[in-house]
Structure 1
Amino acid sequence: MNQFFKNSWTRFLRSSNHFHFSFFTQNSRKFSHFSRSFEPESWRSMEGLVRCSANFAPLTPISFLERAAKAYGDRNSVVYGSVKYTWGETHERCLKLASALTQMGISRGDVVATLAPNVPAMQELHFAVPMAGAVLCTLNTRNDSAMLSSLLRHSDAKIIFVDYQLLEIAQGALHLLAETDTKPPFLVLISESDGPCPIDVASETCEYESLLANGHDVFEIRRPNSEWDPISLNYTSGTTSRPKGVVYGHRGAYLNSLATVLLHGIGSMPVYLWTVPMFHCNGWCLIWGVAAQGGTNICLRKVTPRGIFESIAQHNVTHMGGAPTVLNMIVNSPVSDRRPLPHKVEVMTGGSPPPPQIISKMEELGFGVSHLYGLTETFGPGTSCIWKPEWDSLPLVERSKLKARQGVHHLGLEEVDIRDPVTMASVPADGKTIGEIMFRGNTIMSGYLKDLKATEEAFSGGWFRSGDLAVKHPDNYIEVKDRLKDIIISGGENICTVEVETVLYGHPAVIEAAVVARPDDHWGQTPCAFVKLKEGCDDVGAEELINFCRDHLPHYMAPRTVIFGDLPKTSTGKTQKFILRERAKAMSSLS
């Protein structure tokens, strides 16, 4: 990979009670990291202390796999249809894959990309690529060829692993790269694990299992020189239309994996159903986290309500995750797609604030729902609504409202606060004053690849600025109100789109809703609602929904416009509001 930032950047990072002086330089498409430790004065006053291999090793999630192979070696690590691997087998396969990558010329800091759904190869690549000293770049499976070629060029990926169902898109991207005189990455085809490759492999590609077979299981793992070395490159989801390359370090990945396990209440040997895309924030870091607990990964290529219920019943699933869109899909699924749950299945949801109505309906079906909040830049989960036993006696509606809050920061972070973005003063914990959510701690990205300006802006003031607006309640739990760019200012009044969307979800005919600003000559902006109705509810019109909102909100907050139809989504279930804003803007220009 080319230089991490356009210019050398000097930073002081406080980590593990010692200081690091870190900077990055360009070195033949690789990350190069140089670090010197500066021990604080207190160490010098205490005789007999030494840091060595006996008491220090860089934190890395690679160690989770090594431990799982020893502690849970004969237990299933992955189940995908008829394919099953144990942790011992997964460890061996990852060693062979890492060996094969080095035989192909992959060196420390090189980028290896993937374009694949939740299949066993994706789980293995999360360990094998960093074991080879390389950086894993998991790309969104809904990217078209043009976007994919742009991200491959930006990342300088040397190899791309592509699922056979996405081969045409990948080949289109490689063709576009060739047209610009950019050397395309070598393509490795991932076929179904339990059958022959359904596609003829071209001479300029190779097949995943064949590549793995050429590796050696006695491979010596290339461990990170520093725990701040990069482990993965994740591009933002595209809800803002311009993806950024977010770089994670080994230390942050290690800590966030364990923090997410704790947030999700995952004990030893769980059975985790993959409904969260593995490419998204490395599966919220749970690909590594499930290994830490010796769990079983149930891979689901396509997420459907029927597939979810059948997987739970067949494999005795204990945990799963998903954006509110997945929860919405479950609660609105036909009865014929459902099966009784063998026990309460714990679901962790995040990505956007879930409507309280959806949470209550999930619990009625027998699921336990915990709500997290985070961004790509925070390795996924950063906060969670920690449940308190005294809330159990509250009415269901009140419990759901409490669970819809974003809660407090997890143990891997130093602090999360709501602050005035100009003065940087912490807002009062009154549940009313709106400020920007800001983070600091070890599970914050290293920076944006090749975008020093954006990195400096995100870290200005000594905090990571999320761009999300929230309030802080008297119990210090935070509650997201809106994205900074989504807030509607109508006649001088601030309108939080999340509040309007929550009311719309309360209408029995609404299955999905998103609210954006529509330019208005008199008010400046007015709320414009994009709504998808449930089947059989086509008789519900705009006036009914507007009046419904006016019955539950101040009139100025109610939508002035309602548009019916499907909502554009990212593959992680987030509504692409930038597209809706453009539609609302176009409607205003035509009126």
Structure 2
Amino acid sequence: MAVNIADLVEHAVDLVPERVAVICGGRQVSYAELEARSNRLAHHLRKRGVVPGSHIGVHSRNSIEAVEAMIAAYKLRAVAINVNYRYLKNELQYLFSNADLVALIHEQRHSEVVAEVLPHVPGLRHTVVIPDESGQEFTGVAYPDALADGAPDRDFAERSPDDRYILYTGGTTGQPKGVVWRHEDIWRVLGGGIDFLSGARLPDEWHQCRAGKDFALIRLPVAPLIHGAAQWATFQSLFGGGTVVLVPHFDADEVWQAIQRHRVNVLTIVGDAMARPLIEAYHRGGYDASSLYAVSSSAALFSPSVKEQYVAALPNIMLTDAIGSSETGFSGIGVIGRDGQPKDGPRVKVDADTVVIGEDGKPVAAGVVGRLARSGHVPLGYYKDPVKTATMLTEIDGRRYAIPGDYARVEPDGTVTLLGRGNTSINTAGEKVYPEEVEGALKSHPDVFDALVVGIPDERLGRRVAALVQPRPGATPGFSALDAHVRGLIAGYKVPRSLWLVEEIGRTASGKPDYRWAQRYVEEHRDANVAV
């Protein structure tokens, strides 16, 4: 069995060629059209020197072309590299060079900054430009011309489960780093190679397309395709013969309009940054969500107050919280009900390959905090970074584990509560505080729309807890009111001692909290805090 991303898509193409594969904006393509267009692009790239193992950047917002570009790369046994469309010149130059790009597919709106970077990346020899309304001048080949240059035939070499998949992740600190996976391993942990609820492994590479032959599940991943959660929601849908609905950029009302128009069944989001504006737009717009039967949040914590809003507003849907990372893939899932919501993080049932380990490298007992670790199907490491690879991958009792740095606590019933990344935790007077827990408490206040929590220097405590709060429109929450509210939910040492009210919380394109932005803001506005 040769489990390969391109093969898995082609199995669905062969089974349901006339079914709609991808919808974005006012356009859609069938599986047969997706196949022909991806083949054409792959043949064009092969003419321009792309060979197995080559790295091809995909620098685009959500679009049909972005999906085709990724598939075309994998058809050639090349590697698609996700490029954050928010990056500026220096960030792009670092990524293009670090990832060893030989070709780049980018939207026309990025032409000016790409032109500035190209002279500094001599290995990047070819660009394909996706036309848009920006009107920017560009060099390279226009996307329609690239398709016209290539044949629609599927005449590619045999592929392997050992072909590489790389996902660049910005994380919360440091430069972006590429997590390298084998195709078979990433399929098992993110692509549907296991049943996420039961943990059962799929028997073969044709199971997904056969299971989806008679029913086209319609799925809308809200996050941008530069994010692993959106990529793999898209790939899962394509592997199973489903229909993917994309929105070019995040707008809460546009998401609900797409759900209503296309009768979406499954909505995948990334934490509160998407969940909160979505549920408020739902109430404001009176949208028809009767087709929707599942909403899943992954890759960022889903705060208790927002969970409660979804359960109350959409009582007939399945609401799930999934945990995982670019370095582990899926690690566990929790189904959220009306009662007994944990206040400090998602509580999930982990799969058989996931454990929580202590400082001694051994699994911890109930009630103890440790680091989340996964064995079995794990990545090969970070691209061109053996030092970071050695810190992320370790061997315990003869088994290889990926340990990305997420802290968690084992509960008495065997479930696990995810607490957050260790590199963002705050050591205050010897106590460890996880920002996500404090953020959840802040966001449950009716005057708070969003919040980030960081540690700042303190002469007595070493570090003290500080909060940046984005108020709801028209509200100005006072420090005393927030302090009293939060003290009723979490221990006193976790309560913010400094507070900044901001117009908007900084988040990444995927909706994850941008703690580097928060630290910069605090340093630049030291005298503007509400209280100390």
Shared topology, TM-score over 0.5?
Answer: yes
Give the partner amino acid of 1:370.
T
Pick from 477, 481, 487 the counterpart of residue 419 of structure 2.
481
| Aligned counterparts of 2:413 and 2:229: Cα–Cα separation in 1 | 31
Following superposition, the deviation at residue 383 of structure 1 comes to 2.1
Matches within 5 A, 1:168-179: 168-174=112-118, 178=119
Contact 1:77/1:85 (<8 A) preserved: yes
Give the partner amino acid of 1:502.
G
Are residues 1:407 and 2:349 paired? yes
Matches within 5 A, 1:73-84: 73-84=17-28
Contact 1:256/1:285 (<8 A) preserved: no
Matches within 5 A, 1:414-453: 415-420=353-358, 422-429=359-366, 432-442=367-377, 444-453=378-387
2:178 maps to what in 1? 245
Give the partner amino acid of 1:277.
P
1:217 maps to what in 2? 152
Matches within 5 A, 1:139-178: 139-174=83-118, 178=119
Pick from 377, 382, 398 the counterpart of residue 340 of structure 2.
398
| Deviation by residue 1:446-471 (Cα, 9 ceiling, x = unmatched) | 21111111111211233211211110
Contact 1:140/1:279 (<8 A) preserved: yes
What secondary structure sits across from 1:466 in the alignment?
Answer: coil
Give the partner amino acid of 1:405.
R
Give the partner amino acid of 2:131.
S
Give the partner amino acid of 2:340.
E
Where does structure 1 lack aligned partners over 5 or more consecutive residues? 1-56
Contact 2:409/2:416 (<8 A) preserved: yes
Contact 2:42/2:75 (<8 A) preserved: yes
Are residues 1:510 and 2:448 paired? yes
| Aligned counterparts of 1:67 and 1:496: Cα–Cα separation in 2 | 44
| Aligned counterparts of 2:289 and 2:344: Cα–Cα separation in 1 | 25
Structure index of larger Rg: 1
| Deviation by residue 1:122-148 (Cα, 9 ceiling, x = unmatched) | 111221111112111011111112101
Following superposition, the deviation at residue 586 of structure 1 comes to 6.5
| Aligned counterparts of 2:71 and 2:189: Cα–Cα separation in 1 | 16
Contact 2:108/2:136 (<8 A) preserved: no
| Aligned counterparts of 1:256 and 1:87: Cα–Cα separation in 2 | 25
1:406 to 1:571, Cα distance in 2 relative to 1, 3 A: farther
Pick from 165, 171, 188 the counterpart of residue 128 of structure 2.
188
| Deviation by residue 1:211-255 (Cα, 9 ceiling, x = unmatched) | 01211122422333x42221x322112421321111222112332
| Aligned counterparts of 1:309 and 1:589: Cα–Cα separation in 2 | 41
1:272 maps to what in 2? 219
2:262 maps to what in 1? 315
1:348 maps to what in 2? 296
Give the partner amino acid of 1:228.
D
Following superposition, the deviation at residue 585 of structure 1 comes to 5.7
| Aligned counterparts of 2:345 and 2:422: Cα–Cα separation in 1 | 23
1:21 maps to what in 2? none
1:374 maps to what in 2? 324
Give the partner amino acid of 1:361.
Q
| Aligned counterparts of 2:311 and 2:11: Cα–Cα separation in 1 | 35
What secondary structure sits across from 2:12 in the alignment?
Answer: helix
1:400 to 1:310, Cα distance in 2 relative to 1, 3 A: farther
| Aligned counterparts of 1:264 and 1:171: Cα–Cα separation in 2 | 46
Deviates more, 1:398-407 or 1:137-146: 398-407
Pick from 304, 309, 313 the counterpart of residue 365 of structure 1.
313
What secondary structure sits across from 1:372 in the alignment?
Answer: strand
Pick from 267, 278, 293 the counterpart of residue 330 of structure 1.
278
What secondary structure sits across from 1:507 in the alignment?
Answer: coil
Are residues 1:456 and 2:406 paired? no
| Aligned counterparts of 1:95 and 1:494: Cα–Cα separation in 2 | 52
1:49 maps to what in 2? none
Following superposition, the deviation at residue 261 of structure 1 comes to 7.8
TM, length-normalised to structure 1 = 0.80
Matches within 5 A, 1:25-44: none
What secondary structure sits across from 1:441 in the alignment?
Answer: coil
Equivalent pairs counted in the alignment come to 507
Pick from 126, 139, 142 the counterpart of residue 207 of structure 1.
142
| Aligned counterparts of 2:82 and 2:301: Cα–Cα separation in 1 | 25
1:18 maps to what in 2? none
Where does structure 2 lack aligned partners over 5 or more consecutive residues? 199-207
1:334 to 1:259, Cα distance in 2 relative to 1, 3 A: closer
Give the partner amino acid of 1:296.
T
1:576 to 1:81, Cα distance in 2 relative to 1, 3 A: closer
% of aligned pairs identical? 20
| Aligned counterparts of 2:320 and 2:113: Cα–Cα separation in 1 | 36
Following superposition, the deviation at residue 77 of structure 1 comes to 0.7
Pick from 485, 497, 504 the counterpart of residue 560 of structure 1.
497
| Deviation by residue 1:537-572 (Cα, 9 ceiling, x = unmatched) | 12x212211122223333222111111112211111
| Deviation by residue 1:152-186 (Cα, 9 ceiling, x = unmatched) | 01111111111123333322322xxx1x4734442
Matches within 5 A, 1:227-266: 227-230=161-164, 232-259=165-192, 262-263=195-196
Following superposition, the deviation at residue 73 of structure 1 comes to 1.1
Deviates more, 1:482-491 or 1:352-361: 482-491
1:47 maps to what in 2? none
Are residues 1:470 and 2:417 paired? no
1:258 to 1:496, Cα distance in 2 relative to 1, 3 A: closer
2:201 maps to what in 1? none
CA RMSD of aligned residues (A): 2.6
1:131 to 1:201, Cα distance in 2 relative to 1, 3 A: farther
1:478 to 1:165, Cα distance in 2 relative to 1, 3 A: same
